[in-house]
Amino acid sequence: MSLAPFKPSQQVDFVAIGSGAAGGVMAKELATAGLSVVVIEQGPYLRERISSTTSSA
């Protein structure tokens, strides 16, 4: 499974409208099954990142 930029001319198997609880899980399961999936989301684009948290307890 890869996160590649979507090109409007590209054909896909499924389009998920919204990446909420249902849309996100559905898109992940379909992609894991080998299908091509595009998720359309209204909110801001979030990039993958590695973050760490520390506790000052």
**Domain limits of the chain?**
12-43
pLDDT > 80? residue 51: no
d(C-alpha 4, C-alpha 55), whole Å: 35
pLDDT > 70? residue 50: no
d(C-alpha 28, C-alpha 16), whole Å: 10
Q: What is the mean pLDDT of the chain?
A: 81
- Residues 11-26: tens digit of each pLDDT: 999 999 988 889 999 9
* Other CB atoms within 10 A of residue 36 CB: 14
Work out the pLDDT band at 6, boundaries 50, 70, 90: confident
Whole-angstrom Cα Rg for the chain = 14
pLDDT > 70? residue 32: yes
pLDDT > 90? residue 4: no
